[in-house]
A and B are shown apart, each in its own frame.
Chain A
Amino acid sequence: MYSDKVMDHFMNPRNVGEIENADGVGQVGNAKCGDIMKMYLKIENDVIVDAKFKTFGCGAAVATSSMATELVVGKTVEEALNITNKAVADALDGLPPAKMHCSNLAEEAITAAIEDYKRRNGLLDEKDECTACSRRCDDVHHHHMEEEE
């Protein structure tokens, strides 16, 4: 059910770990739903120079975390914010329909980490605040239920 690329990123995940003195840290999901993603970003001159993650979750959750860290490195903050869940899934040669919510989680983790960075640097507009505060799992899951229908 998983593509070879998903299995590769699951068995050999890139960028697992933490960044000491990270410039932005975001955590989304919750244990009740069975997946939590925590992303650490190192940002220099508005460019993401390093990304690391820790994930509690299924194979797709680990693989999307790994892919998300690969996608953000080298991008500007604004470019990274434009990475969609679909882009993460496509980069993994797709995800099974029931697992698409895991890619939402990856997109949210990127957003949450960048918001943290902006907050620390006084760059956050109030209206932007907390768009990626960890949603309840049924929100995320509802999303994929609708897609399946």
Chain B
Amino acid sequence: MGDKLIYLDHAATTFVKPEVVETMLPYFTHKFGNASSIYTIGRESKKAVEEARDKVAMALGAQSREIFFTGSGTEADNWAIKGVAYANKAKGNHIITTAIEHPAVLNTCQYLESEGFEVTYLPVDENGLVTPEQVAEAIKPNTILVTIMFANNEIGTIQPISEIGRVTKEKGVYLHVDAVQAVGNVPINVVDMNIDLLSLSGHKFYGPKGVGALYIRKGVKVTSFIHGGHQERGRRASTENVPAIVGLGKAIELATKNLEEYNRKLLTLREKTIEEITKRIPFVKLNGDRHKRLPGNINFSFEYIEGESLLLMLDMKGIAASSGSACTSGSLDPSHVLLAIGLPHEIAHGSLRITFGEENTQEDVDYLLDSLVTIVERLREMSPLYENVKRGNQNV
């Protein structure tokens, strides 16, 4: 294996940019004050937190007082969904979501079902898209919340959030958007898009892990999430993780500034990889929408082979990627997203997700492609499912 590392799993997490680390470091050491303390180093921490809040607000087109820091994207999702559900119980108990949400949303919704809430899981089409019409039709008099991800973490499909926002606004229902995969990859404006709540996570755009944020539009009724001190205006108590918050602020600032250039770079890598895989390897299927997808996301199914084997062999060549096979999910079934877009189990088991990022190059793509061609061929030679295909071809 050696020391070679070609990291192609940026949807899982990213490295922290050196300039982000640099802005964080003083807040671990000499600027360590508690942001709630009144003396100078306390006030410095408070100021740093508020500057980070301004940066997040700026990136989303929100006001600073609408941004609340959390411990993760998952926490932000939990807060948004449970917070809206509990605060609006008197109005109704119906929540609408989709079949392809991240577990942070799906399992929160399932929990709320056990608490007496009613949840509609909208199906998606073969590319993973929901339509604004589906949302409109699902809204009932007792609907209080629609929660839909901006972009899917596995297949990269980008939902028509603006159009859905128009529907929810017109019907007077809150819209929560899990934008963990989208922030830093897609332009977002919460006002233009009529988004009421939005979750994000620092480590998906070259910020640190363990810090996220929830945007809560002014006037939206949400219960407090962690009870304790007065931090985050009493909505989410806990001593602020100042270095992480500062890092998230710097990272989102950089991501927004470089968005266009970053997008162009990822798109070039993505398009070349999709074209070459389709050309050089038979029996493959691109999962997710061909165009309405995250600029760095590729998800292919390779028929007759299994995803974990593929990942292990790629790892031996120094390539880090991801799969939706059951063997990698640790459950009985392959990815719920791949099943929801209609893939049969056996095709879903053979999926590979590649997500490009900042440090990837054309050379990485060439190396990946050469490795993939060899590995897929090798695994197929070993696969009893492929024998019949080969025989079939010979007969033709």
Contact = CB atoms under 8 A, between A and B. Distances in A.
Interface residues of A, number: 29
B384 A59 contact: no
A98 interface: yes
A62 B379 CA distance: 10
Given A57-B306, A57-B309, A32 B387 contact: no
B325 A58 contact: yes
Contact of B312 (A18, A56, A59, A98): A59
Interface in B211-259: none
Nearest to A18: B387
A56 B332 contact: no
A55 B345 contact: no
A49 interface: no
A141 B329 CA distance: 14
Contacts of B334: 34
Interface residues of B, number: 26
Given A31-B345, A34-B306, A58 B327 contact: yes
Given A58-B327, A98-B330, A141-B332, A31 B309 contact: no
A58 B316 contact: no
Interface in A1-60: 7, 10-11, 13, 16, 18, 27, 31-38, 54-60
A83 interface: no
A91 interface: no
Contacts of B325: 34, 58
A62 B309 contact: yes
Q: Which of A36, A57, A61 has the most CB of B within 10 A?
A: A57
B326 interface: yes
A137 interface: yes
A146 interface: no
Contacts of A60: 327
A54 B309 contact: no
Nearest to A59: B312
Interface string A106-149: 00000000000000000000000000000001100100000000
Contacts of B309: 10, 57-59, 61-62
Contacts of A31: 345-346, 349, 385
A61 B334 CA distance: 16
Nearest to B387: A54
